[in-house]
Amino acid sequence: MKNHEKPLEQATFAPESGDMPKEEFRRHGHALVDWIADYFENIEQFPVLSNNAPNDLKNALPTSAPEKGDDFDEVLKDVEKLILPAVTHWNHPNFHGLFSTSTSSVGIFGEMLSAAFDMKAMLWRTSPASTELEPVVLDWLRQMMNLSENFKGVIYDTASISTLHAIAMAREKLNLGIRENGMSGRADLPLLRVYCSEQTHNSIDKAVILLGLGQKSLVKIPTNNRFEMDVEKLREAIQDDKSKGHLPFCIIPTIGTTSSSSVDNVERVADICERNNLWLHVDTAYAGSAAIVPEFQHYFKGINRADSIVTNPHKWLFTPFDLSVLYVKDLDLLKQTFSLVAEYLKVSETVTNQMDYGIQLGRRFRSLKLWFVMRYFGQQGLIERIREHCRLARLFANWVDDSEDFEMLAPVPFALVCFRACPKNVEDLDSLNEKIMNEINASGEAYLSHTKLNGKFTLRLSVGSIRVEERHLRKVWDLLNKFNREIR
Ligand code: PLP
């Protein structure tokens, strides 16, 4: 059968028009590593938040690609001229907003090499290195976090995706034939219920939306005055739902919530899960890294009773974004939930194929950068860094406590401080604190973000950069006091 197109004309381009010539690659590569080294050395000279206005970068760029290729030196010049001003410097030691996350230099080497290999981990044969390094590295991390050996880990990009997979597993375990028949148009299905606290990250809302459970399936349990899930209210909500014929199937407590880093009582939630045969998924995306520090182990009590756990080394283990870990006890159930093997992916060997454990077909070789980080810093090095961040956060909290003009608004279990200015004779403290935050952020010296706790505008200072030192916190404290005096 001859149904292919006629051969193309003889190629008009020269044979060297493949990749960048190797000498050029070497030259630019060395220059780029030098550029990154200089960037880290001088990072404090940059404003933490980009000073660009929306669309500044977009408007400065041509609307179509160059007809002929540019010299890479020109491209790098444009990085300095156009891209750099549009960068918010997450690696700046005074980035204290949201959660302060940063990459180590050695983590960048991991990204470089995995880009060089450009493996798509789907089948073992397409990516033996990724398939085999990932479980080893995740077992090292499991041991460091003191998790039971029943947990096996899988790497995804973000916690949102890890949690989506966990809830999908919990739903599959119900054996309601949802994988085959879906949920729509089925009168035989009760309303499925997932429980979390009011303080939970909205990745859980998104997961229930995406899984077709609907937002009304997610029950948000009120929290106590420490922003921890009220376990009595959880118990009542489950009973109430059962009495209405709904089907509770999953509870998601958080260790280290996003707003205030509060810690739900996983031990008590686990009791409820066991009594009611519910899936227990623990979200410790932020704080999970602190489980490697012996004196913080008590915050993780009960975690080994979970069915699944999410933790993000890209948040607080000095690993470049992105790398989230889902630990599950029943790896076979994860496979049962997601595996779907097309003819062109069938293989004869009996091996682990990473495509079977999630939505994606191919995955990036992410374990390499975590392996680099663990090898380079060692367990002790990582523990010391996280311990130091927690020390610095407590030190800052002490300054707040000792000041007449500021007050703490939440406990500090890890390295996040929630506080506000509260000078006497100022009525609208929300507005004052918002102004102080905006002034600090506009100064370029530091970045703070906010939340609302008990209805109060709350400043959040997160300590997590691998480059942060006590002097950086002192600088923020001085700025806070300065603007507090000036704005009043
Ligand atoms: N869970 C918690 C507790 C978080 O703090 C966050 C993000 O800050 C997430 C989940 C979502 O993380 P990701 O951006 O990796 O999806």
- The pocket around ligand 1, CB under 6 angstroms, is made up of 99, 158-160, 201, 203, 254, 256-258, 283, 285-286, 312, 324
> What's the CA-to-centroid distance between 311 and ligand 1, angstroms?
9
Tokens of 420: 């506000």
| Pocket perturbation via mutation, ligand 1, pick of 258, 259, 416 by most ligand atoms within 8 A of CB | 258
| Pocket perturbation via mutation, ligand 1, pick of 101, 160, 165, 202 by most ligand atoms within 8 A of CB | 160
Q: In this structure, which residue's CA is closest to atom 5 in ligand 1?
A: 258
pLDDT above 90: residue 448: yes
The pLDDT value recorded for residue 16 is 58
The pLDDT value recorded for residue 11 is 59
Could you read off the pLDDT of 375-389 as tens digits, one per residue?
Answer: 999 999 999 999 999
> What's the CA-to-centroid distance between 99 and ligand 1, angstroms?
9
pLDDT above 60: residue 83: yes
Q: What is the overall mean pLDDT for the chain? A: 96
Closest among 359, 320, 322, 330 to 122, alpha carbons compared: 359
Could you read off the pLDDT of 266-284 as tens digits, one per residue?
Answer: 999 999 999 999 999 999 9
The pLDDT value recorded for residue 488 is 77
The pLDDT value recorded for residue 10 is 64
Q: Which residue has the tokens 């080994």?
A: 304
pLDDT above 80: residue 8: no
User: Which amino acid is located at 222 in the chain?
Assistant: P
Q: Give rounded-to-5 percent helix, strand, coil for the chain.
A: 50, 15, 40
pLDDT above 80: residue 4: no
Could you read off the pLDDT of 187-233 as tens digits, one per residue?
Answer: 999 999 999 999 999 999 999 999 999 999 999 999 999 999 999 99
pLDDT above 80: residue 5: no
Cα–Cα distance between 358 and 339 in angstroms, integer?
7
Is 216 exposed, middle or buried (CB count within 10 Å of its CB: 0-12, 13-18, 19+)? Answer: exposed
pTM: 0.96
pLDDT bin (cut points 50, 70, 90) of residue 1 is low
Could you read off the pLDDT of 403-426 as tens digits, one per residue?
Answer: 999 999 999 999 999 999 999 999
Q: Is the dihedral of CA 308, 309, 314, 317 positive or negative?
A: negative
Of the chain, the percentage scoring pLDDT greater than 90 comes to 96
Could you read off the pLDDT of 281-305 as tens digits, one per residue?
Answer: 999 999 999 999 999 999 999 999 9
The pLDDT value recorded for residue 13 is 59
Could you read off the pLDDT of 136-178 as tens digits, one per residue?
Answer: 999 999 999 999 999 999 999 999 999 999 999 999 999 999 9
Tokens of 33: 């590593």
The pLDDT value recorded for residue 358 is 97
Q: In this structure, which residue's CA is closest to atom 14 in ligand 1?
A: 158
> What's the CA-to-centroid distance between 327 and ligand 1, angstroms?
16
